Structure 1
Amino acid sequence: MNSFPKTLPSVSDAPEAELPDTRDLPFPAARGLIGVLTDPALRDSFPGRSLRVFSDLRGGLYLGFFLDETLSAVTEAPEHEGPDSFFFLESPFACPPVITRHVPDVFLEFPAPPEDGTFPPAASAGDRSAKLHFRRGLPRDFAARILSALDSFPQDIPPVLPRESDLSAEALHLFPDYQSFRDTVLRAQENMRQGKFHKVVLSRRAEIILKTAPNPPDLLRDLIFRRLAQEPCGTYFYACLAGPEDSLFVSFSPETLLQSRGREFRTEALAGSCPPGQGSVLLRDAKNIQENSIVAEEIKERLAELALSLCIGPLTLKSLDYIEHLKTPISGLLKEGAAPLEVSRKLHPTPAVLGFPREPALSFLRVAGLLPESLYAGLGGCIRTGVSGDGDRLTLAVLLRSARVHSRSVTLYGGAGILPASRPESEWRETGSKMKAACEALCLPRDLISIITDLPAGTESGQLQTN
């Protein structure tokens, strides 16, 4: 239990000079501010608030606190905003996506390392600094109270992530169960034989009912601390804490939808996977190579009208602790006037998270009741306008390897691409293994993944069953 005061101090008489729009913070003070922004005192003082966190592949981390959210669908950066303005971008799964712009009232920035890659190791994280920004026009009293709380709250906040034993499971529900999942795979393959589509991505979820309810703000705070203490690890981190009951969504995604700097951009086809240590075999596997090729070709076709130049890199591996993926890097230069956010809407969802062609794959998932829910398989990221005269900088990740924490339940999500050569039992195991990242990050019991991944006793691949 923390020792923070129940309400934030009121300092409405603070001099205007004490309320700068931007303030540099040493690392310990920034940790203290993370505690301020995630503490129940802020929830009690300002009901209806939400938090969003985005950490990119290079190690930059951005935390936003929102009082009264004004959401608007956007396709380009607003022209009336000044240079170096920062916005969070977010979209639940949809085709095409509706990307919303979230303007933080309080914005804490841990910058990414310089372009030359120099970065203090985790042991020297204290050498890092952060920047605190207040939205222009933010009520003066609120900004003053945040600064006063920053000065009075402890900076050395110990981690409070629960021990595994504290999050023991009372029940586990799998949606769909293996029998239904297998039948859906076989039904999809029958549709492929009939020429209705070439690939579809099936996802499933595991709902874990815990004996005791975790504290989502504490979970989020410690996930942020852990992210700041580690080297860049090849994945994005996106989190959203919102709602009167503090529902928490987290994603530990390896997939970039689009990263742009001015007119320069890069994306990737990330599809095809295997257990860790088997990458050399994966690079020769026909089924996985075909799966990656479908994604790469669709991205190439969708960019044809928008890109002035396009470079398709060689097939390579992206290796994580728990899985290896096939990756085809794609980069280029956008045509004059092609807005990166509009490019993002055109690209997503790629065949890596939906299937191909789009409409018949989408229709199949809708009928099967397997469309992704929450923010899973949606988009999360940020845009910074007019950086140093280089144009806008945009980063959007596909929100995979996700979990949702709500009350006493934690829901894990995982998906896999289905092709004519797919085997239901292999795809079941793959969807389960992709839940491992979120399961371990949230300190859930380790034996859950084996239960989620294993086939039920007495089951085996077979012919399509109809009811």
Structure 2
Amino acid sequence: MDAISFFDALEQQYKNNLPFVVYSRPINSIIKCWLQEDDSVYKSETFTESGFLFAPFDIKQNSILLPKEHCLYSEITTSNLEVEDFEPTEILQSETEKIQHIDLVSKGIESIKNQDLQKVVLSRCETKSLQDTNPLTIFKRLFNTYTNAMVYCWYHPIVGLWIGATPELLLKVEGKRLTTISLAGTQPYQRESEPTWTNKEFEEQKIVTDYITEQLKPYTSNINVSEVDTVRAGNLLHLKTRIISVLKDGADLKSIIEALHPTPAVCGFSKAKAKDFILNNENYNREYYTGFLGELNLKQSRTRNTNRRNVENNAYAVVKTQSNFYVNLRCMQLKDAKANIYVGGGITKDSNPDNEWEETVNKTGTINTVLN
């Protein structure tokens, strides 16, 4: 299938008000899509199903599944998608929203200093009116711009329309091997200078790393933690640690997800107290922002070549069940010709409220580069 036919099928699916997802994983030229054959809302409660999962911040709410058995699947391979040139329009920052967010951050810092919390991630929603409301056009722009991200467009007529480019892996399970990352700290990318990180940012990142490794211990062994590295996501830089481990016998995906999600990178620490603070103070419903999304229990086949005596170039297909979930960051919800853009940042005792506001403005710019 060529790119034109691929996106024509997606356009028709959207026109028919039928669910779909189109996505491309980081540093990957393969674009995949799932087209659901009806408009039913399928939910995953056990995480034993197969398909594409779209889960909310509050895991007690509905995790929506596009089931493999009720979807048509197709994919294309390309490094660039044809899309018309455009000029992004500026987001005008609201002074009222600025004051509200600074007040929220100040309240979070006060709670941390009172030893109620160690860290809390506080966010806001910015609304922008759109001239071009075609979600697939926005997806194409994201794909061309953010090669290091999981780029997606997800639609269900009953649930909503979400688009994003997230740099953060929640977890990848391939056979018995589990991979995840700890991602925290944010600063603008500057081409001509080396990044410098503050103690606050290293502390924030360490909280996430320590939390993840502790949560994995009941379910995995041989936990290997990499050195902290700086990674780029669009116009932003983050601190990143890779964590690899081996699943113990009997470990199930649902228990691991419930242990990890939401991580301190999107919620805070301790998890229960941070989540309560967010639900009681953010004054809006995150819905699927800082939830997670991705492939659930799909069979992946890899070819392994052997060259034993008397056997030339035999190929053996190794089939493993694989799940790939990404945290739903750098995302927006499209509704009524407007984009609701979600941004946030990690708050610790050393946070500066004005700097935290600026960090959310920088993150808004990541998504705004593809909107007009």
TM superposition score category, shorter chain reference: 0.7 to 0.9
Q: Does the 8 Å contact 1:376/1:402 carry over to 2?
A: yes
Stretch deviating more after TM superposition (60-69 or 423-432): 60-69
Select which of 375, 390, 408 maps to 2:288: 375
- Asked whether 1:106 is paired with 2:106, we answer no
State the secondary structure of the residue aligned to 2:262. Answer: coil
Residue 268 of structure 2 corresponds to residue 355 of structure 1: yes
CA contact (8 A) 2:166 2:327 kept: yes
| Counterpart in the other structure of 1:71 | 42
> Shift of the alpha carbon at 1:268?
0.8
Aligned to 1:37: 10
Choose the corresponding residue for 2:136, options 201, 214, 220: 220
Q: Which residue of 2 aligns with 1:433?
A: 362
What is residue 406 of structure 1 aligned with on the other side? Answer: 335
Shift of 1:96: 5.6
Change (3 A) 1:422 1:67: same
5+ residue gaps, structure 1, are: 1-24, 79-85, 112-119, 126-157, 445-467
Amino acid at match of 1:243: P
Flag structure 2 segments of 5+ consecutive residues without an equivalent. Answer: 302-317
SS at match of 2:166: coil
What residue identity is the alignment partner of 1:399? N
**How far 1:57 sits from its partner (Å)?**
1.5
Task: Sort the Cα spacing of 1:415 and 1:369 in 2 relative to 1 into closer, same or farther, 3 A.
Answer: closer
Q: Check conservation: 2:139, 2:163, Cα contact below 8 A.
A: no
Distance apart, 1:259 and its partner CA? 0.9
**Structure 2 CA distance for partners of 1:191 and 1:109, relative to 1, 3 Å:** same
1:375 aligned counterpart, secondary structure: coil
* Aligned equivalent of 1:184, options 104, 126, 132: 104
User: Taking structure 1 as reference, are residues 254 and 333 closer, same or farther at Cα in structure 2, changes over 3 Å only?
Assistant: same
Partner of 1:203: 123
Aligned partners of 1:370 and 1:279: how far apart in 2?
37
Paired AA for residue 24 in structure 2: S
TM-score, normalised by the number of residues in structure 1 = 0.68
- Aligned ranges 1:45-444 → 2 under 5 Å: 47-59=16-28, 60-68=30-38, 69-78=40-49, 87-95=51-59, 99-103=63-67, 104-110=70-76, 122=79, 159-160=83-84, 163-164=86-87, 174=94, 177-210=97-130, 212=131, 214-216=132-134, 219-221=135-137, 223-224=139-140, 227=143, 233-243=147-157, 248-277=161-190, 280-282=195-197, 285-370=198-283, 372-388=285-301, 389-442=318-371, 444=372
Q: Give the Cα separation in 1 of the matches to 2:24 and 2:287.
A: 20
CA distance in 1, matches of 2:241, 2:97: 33
Deviation track 1:222-276 (CA, whole Å, cap 9, x = no partner) reads 624863x67x8211112212327x9531111000000111110110110011111
Q: Which has the higher contact order (CA 8 A, sep 6+)?
A: 2
Identity between Structure 1 and Structure 2 (%): 23
Match of 1:130 in 2: none
Kept in 2, the 8 Å contact 1:63–1:109? The answer is: yes
Cα distance in 1 for partners of 2:141, 2:35 equals: 17
Is the 2:139–2:152 Cα contact (8 Å) retained in structure 1? no
Displacement after TM superposition at 1:309 (Å)? 1.6
Which structure 1 residue ranges, 4+ long, deviate > 6 Å from structure 2? none
Give the Cα–Cα distance (whole angstroms) in 2 for the partners of residues 168 and 435 of structure 1: 12
8 Å Cα contact 1:174-1:207 kept in structure 2: no
Q: CA deviation at 1:221?
A: 4.6
Q: Aligned partners of 1:226, 1:426: CA distance in 2, in Å? A: 27
CA shift at 1:308, angstroms? Answer: 1.8
Deviation (angstroms), 1:370: 4.2
- CA 1:225–1:197 in structure 2 vs 1: closer, same or farther (change >3 Å)? closer
State the secondary structure of the residue aligned to 2:227. coil
Alignment: residue pair count: 350
Question: How large is the RMSD of aligned CA atoms in angstroms?
Answer: 2.8
- Residue 447 (structure 1) aligns with: none
What is the alpha-carbon distance in structure 2 between the residues aligned to residue 309 and residue 189 of structure 1? 36
Is the CA contact (8 Å cut-off) linking 1:273 and 1:323 kept in structure 2?
A: yes
Larger CA deviation: 424-433 vs 176-185: 176-185
Task: State the Cα distance separating 1:66 from its structure 2 match.
Answer: 1.5
Answer yes or no: is the 8 Å Cα contact 1:172–1:209 preserved in 2. Answer: no
Partner amino acid, structure 2, of 1:110 = I
Change (3 A) 1:70 1:408: closer
- Change in 2 beyond 3 A, CA 1:51/1:279: farther
Q: Which has the higher strand share?
A: 2
